[in-house]
Amino acid sequence: MSETTSKSGLGVWTQRLLAAIFLAGQVIVHLLRGKINRRNTLEQMAAVGPDSLFIALVTAVFVGAVFTIQVAREFINFGAGNSVGGVLAVALTRELSPVLTAVVLAGRVGSAFAAEIATMRVTEQIDALLMLKTDPIDYLVIPRVLACCLMLPILTLLSLVTGMLGGLIIAINIYNLSENVFLDSARSLIGIWDIVSAMIKACCFGILIAVIGCSWGLTTTGGAKGVGQSTTTAVVTALLIIFISNFFLSWIMFQGSGSASLQGL
């Protein structure tokens, strides 16, 4: 019985994932036609950006501090204490800032998208929009996709700066590293492409979060219980897709033997 249930659950999840892929294609087509609801887009940008700023920055501060605690001691033991700032900057820019900020938004914003649209689906508000000849994709989905695509890179950049600040505080006060040495190391190891790659990743993650949240909401059935299930599954799916896509994005962006500065560590 449990095996049959798990198979049916996997089948439903696969169908909803295919529906999300189809929805992403519809979003692209609608954007190419220039159909953008500006008022809804601005409202969603406020919900995704400023309303998520505090939790994203708090997360970044402690991630940068913990990373410095784990790395600084080992680097100092090997006589490479001057490279702590650079290694932290590379780790935050390439991986930690975009991924962890996306995880925070998937939990906060992705779940909200799924719950809100799922509630509209089960209470037949989506059908009412169609009766009024209003396309749900134009009115509900595209503003959320644009909001995540535009706001997540900004949040990622702010998280990077905040994470470096958290690492700097730990490096100065606990490991007695020089502020100038820490920052010079960061400047020497980080490049323009690292910043660009972080923005590209953040933009991709934002699109994935919005599309998955909206798609799971639009395909909800079963009343209040279905809303709860859709919200939970949307967050889990978004996290899974973020981690998988992060692997492929990193593989594409950072193939090769690395920079000479990093090889010299």
pLDDT tens digits, residue range 173-208? 998 888 999 999 999 999 899 999 999 999 999 999
Q: What is the pLDDT of residue 2?
A: 45
d(CA 17, CA 218): 12
Q: What is the pLDDT of residue 265?
A: 46
Sequence spans of domains, the chain: 21-251
d(CA 27, CA 88): 37
Please report where in the chains the tokens 């809100």 appear, as a residue: 116
For the chain, where are the alpha helices, taking DSSP H only?
2-32, 38-48, 50-77, 84-91, 97-105, 111-122, 125-131, 136, 142-173, 179-189, 192-218, 223-253, 260-263
> 2-25, pLDDT tens digit by residue?
444 455 678 888 898 899 999 999
Q: What is the pLDDT of residue 256?
A: 60
How many CA atoms within 13 Å lie on the side-chain side of 216? 29
**AA letter at 224:** A
> 204-225, pLDDT tens digit by residue?
999 999 999 999 999 988 888 8
> 96-121, pLDDT tens digit by residue?
999 999 999 999 999 999 999 999 99
Q: Which of 134, 155, 120 is nearest to 45 (CA)?
A: 155
